[in-house]
Structure 1
Amino acid sequence: MQRDQGVPGSQSSPADEKIARVMAALDVDSADKAAEIAKQLAGTGCWLKIGLELYALSGLSLVQKFKEMGFSIFLDLKLHDIPNTVARTMQVLVDSAVDMINVHCAGGYEMMARAAEIGRKSGKKIIGVTVLTSMGQEELSGVGVNRMVEDQVINLALLAQKAGLDGVVASAREVVSLRRECGADFLLVTPGIRPAGSEQNDQVRVLTPKEALENGSSYLVVGRPITAAVNPREALFKLFD
């Protein structure tokens, strides 16, 4: 299935609008493999997500290449350090062609506020990670957080909003509550998205793409169901079948 973006000025179809809310996670072990997947997804309208592994391999060198191919880029580094270090690092990152960057909400209000200020000045979106989707109640308790997962997610999201972040990363299972608490304009980026019948792998709190959008997700982060497919382009468009 070879669908491309419409010509400038044309109206987007509902299918196009859904694809524009997908972030294909390039969590692969080589820059060449990432570039090949990007080539296959070019023109579809989806985002690309560059995470720690690919960043460790290539730094920011792939960002400009992917931008020239027409992609919006989410740089998923989950910055978590003292406020000054995060602020200095964020300044370097926003000067690149990335469109969205994240920090860990657990870094606290001051760290998030400094990052948010830099994001506003640069026009880049800065979001915060609440509770990793690989963590369930047992794992959360194991690191000394004695709240229910959803309560902790909401607590961190409200702190992020107060600090001026544009949104948060959270499981789609918490999106309904987050929409109620944080409002319609707060970005909710949801990993742990798995098409019906696919394996969960290392994700614990998962939903299907259709369920996530219905719950109110702004963007869906989808990795292996797209990137490990024989035909990533076809797999992308089958997400909502």
Structure 2
Amino acid sequence: MPNGLARDRLIVALDVESVEAARALVATLGDAVSFYKIGMELAYGGGLTLARELKDQGKRVFIDLKLHDIGATVERATRQIARMGMDFLTVHAYPQTMAAARAGAGDLKLLAVTVMTSYDDADLAAAGYAYGVADLVARRAGQAKAAGIDGLILSPMELSTIRPLVGPGMLLVTPGVRPAGADAGDQKRVMTPAQAISATADHIVVGRPITRAADPRAAAVEIVSEIEGS
């Protein structure tokens, strides 16, 4: 069985097409994984029911819905997720959105999405932003800290810059993590698990390198071992 502390820093993204596929994957992974992320694809296909099942099994659960709407809607939606007893919830790092989510969160930990790891400077420019990735992440990190948000979603490339800005008490959770030699897929700003942990990530989110591996459990164990050695 992998080391518990290192294992808890790995969050496996259940980015699969059905609840049945997710249940089968969780069974395959067994005690190698203690923390799962349920995103929009699975949530809209019954994944919130699965989230309750995972909590009943003693797992930790991260609901990744990236909420962003008018304040009242965000506050009520956040409160619903909090009532389910989930561990993490993502919201987009807009000041009004973060303030509304904070009002509804209770003990639920909120993670503010800074800039998607599939975006680069060119993508931001095309969307009309005046900031590049590094500047926008820093700006949103400061706003999230001021709003009392528990942590940030950011790429591993920004960890070393953002940690000094937000201090040790803010959770830094990073997707865009790929084992050495793995395909980067749609991610544009990536590191290996060991690099991300060494750069002060609290948790890393890994999907396809585990979920689509020939042996998902072995892939998860290897990543946890890499975290232990970082």
Q: Please report the TM-score for the alignment, with normalisation by the length of structure 2.
A: 0.94
Give 1:228 shift.
0.6
Percent of aligned positions with the same letter in both sequences?
37
The code of the aligned residue for 1:95 comes to: R
Give 1:59 shift.
4.4
Map of 2:122 onto structure 1: 138
What secondary structure sits across from 2:188 in the alignment? coil
Asked if structure 1 preserves the Cα contact closer than 8 Å seen for 2:79 and 2:104, the reply is: yes
What secondary structure sits across from 2:32 in the alignment? coil
> Following the alignment from structure 2 to structure 1, what is the Cα–Cα distance between the partners of residues 163 and 117?
18
Matches within 5 A, 1:53-202: 53-105=41-93, 108-119=94-105, 121=106, 123-202=107-186
Aligned pair partner of 2:216 in 232, 235, 240: 232
Give 1:117 shift.
2.8
Map of 1:10 onto structure 2: none
> Following the alignment from structure 1 to structure 2, what is the Cα–Cα distance between the partners of residues 146 and 77?
26
The code of the aligned residue for 2:64 comes to: D
The code of the aligned residue for 2:181 comes to: G
The code of the aligned residue for 2:4 comes to: D
> CA RMSD for the aligned pairs?
1.3
What secondary structure sits across from 1:126 in the alignment? strand
Map of 1:21 onto structure 2: 9
Q: 1:20 to 1:59 in 2, by over 3 A?
A: closer
Aligned residues: 225
Give 1:111 shift.
2.0
> Following the alignment from structure 2 to structure 1, what is the Cα–Cα distance between the partners of residues 124 and 202?
25
The code of the aligned residue for 2:46 comes to: S
Asked if structure 2 preserves the Cα contact closer than 8 Å seen for 1:133 and 1:192, the reply is: yes
Greater than 4 Å deviation, 4+ residue runs: none
Asked if structure 2 preserves the Cα contact closer than 8 Å seen for 1:127 and 1:167, the reply is: yes
Asked if structure 2 preserves the Cα contact closer than 8 Å seen for 1:42 and 1:71, the reply is: no
| Range moving further from structure 2, 207-216 or 51-60 | 51-60
What secondary structure sits across from 1:196 in the alignment? coil
The code of the aligned residue for 1:90 comes to: T
Map of 1:214 onto structure 2: 198
What secondary structure sits across from 2:112 in the alignment? strand
Q: Deviations over 1:183-239 (max 9, x none)?
A: 011111100100000000000000000000000001100000111112211100112
Specify every segment of 5 or more residues in structure 2 that has no aligned partner in the other structure, as ranges: none
Map of 2:38 onto structure 1: 50
> Following the alignment from structure 1 to structure 2, what is the Cα–Cα distance between the partners of residues 191 and 212?
10
> Following the alignment from structure 2 to structure 1, what is the Cα–Cα distance between the partners of residues 149 and 190?
24
What secondary structure sits across from 1:43 in the alignment? helix
Give 1:86 shift.
0.5
Higher RCO, Cα 8 Å, sep 6+: 2
